[in-house]
Amino acid sequence: MWFKNLRLYCLAQPFDLTQEELEAQLGENLFTPCASYDKSKLGWVNPLGDATPEPAEGEDGETGDEPLSHVVGDYIMLCAKRQDKLLPAAVVREATAEKVAEIQERQARKVYRKEKREIQDDVYASLLPRAFTRSTRVYAYISRRDNLLVVDTPSAPKAEEFLNLLRDTLGSFPVALPDPKSAPSAVMTRWLKEGHAAEGFQINDDCELVSARDASNVVRLKGQELDGEEIQAHLEAGKQARHLGVVWKGHLSCNIMEDLSIKRLKFENMKEESDGMDAETPAQKFDQEFALMTLELSAFFQDLFNAFGGLEDPKKKLLPDNRNKED
């Protein structure tokens, strides 16, 4: 279990639920598959996933008896599963057009816009039970040690969906986005100008520069040295780093984004270390990887936040609760 992208939320208060209390609340939002007329369903599943024993014949793998959290030390792994009905708009439009044409021919009259919308809604409802489904999972862990929620996704909307499910489950979960005391874009731009990063970090071969005057003026560089004259010319012209590739202590590489989210995360040597450990079962291997990853990321987060001057108190900029926000 190695995360590839990180979106971070700072907890405004310590997370003090016991595992038993957490399990009881997670069980109130257990994942269930889409029924005939559901467009999508979202809920909690066992984070060990494929590391759990195979279900008995006739079961679908979500028995409701499996744990919905996995705790190792100060870290609590969770997994949200989403199932969506796949009903392409083109299919609905074609079926609607056929229905409209049939009515116009049979009744010798024109079908107007309002009635077309009603027919389209009826067609959609009739096709929905026959639609294919697609399932996705989003993993995250709560770090009591770092007071963070760490979500493995590059997508802000998916991270927000996970957060809202957690809020629905717990009733309240006050968090804030990391608010560094020094603007990441300005700090990363300075690193490029000076040719070196903060202690523990080494500039890698990937960055994106954007003009402060024109956001459409973007330069993307990948797989090349970032200390040449070309980079310096862009910086002198006023461009700033929107994201920057770094290597941290030779242990992991990633791209630091201007909002302190992390993309393209790679654990350089730790996978080999994990593969060299003895694990009798997939669950034991999951435990080993989870323990190695979380301990490494805790040290990384400390250096990451320090590189940008530390973080402001999350209580000052709590995120609004968007659970009741209309789409």
* Per-residue pLDDT tens over the stretch 240-293: 999 999 999 988 999 999 999 999 999 977 766 766 677 678 888 899 999 999
Count of positions (residues) in the chain: 327
* Per-residue pLDDT tens over the stretch 115-170: 999 999 999 999 999 999 999 999 999 999 999 999 999 999 999 999 999 999 99
Q: What is the pLDDT of residue 64?
A: 54
pTM of this prediction? 0.88
Q: What is the pLDDT of residue 268?
A: 77
- Beta pairing class for 70-72 and 218-222: unpaired
Instruction: Report which secondary-structure segment, H or E, holds 124.
Output: helix 113-127
The C-alpha atoms of residue 239 and residue 83 are separated, in whole angstroms, by 42
* Per-residue pLDDT tens over the stretch 92-122: 999 999 999 999 999 999 989 999 999 999 9
- The answer, yes or no, to whether residue 180 has pLDDT greater than 60, is yes
The C-alpha atoms of residue 145 and residue 109 are separated, in whole angstroms, by 69
Average pLDDT over residues 32-57: 81
Q: What is the pLDDT of residue 152?
A: 98
| Angle subtended at Cα 194 by Cα 191 and Cα 199, rounded to the nearest 5 degrees | 55
CB-CB contact of 257 with 219 (8 Å): no
* Per-residue pLDDT tens over the stretch 188-219: 999 999 999 999 999 998 999 999 888 889 99
Chain centre distance of CA 154:
5
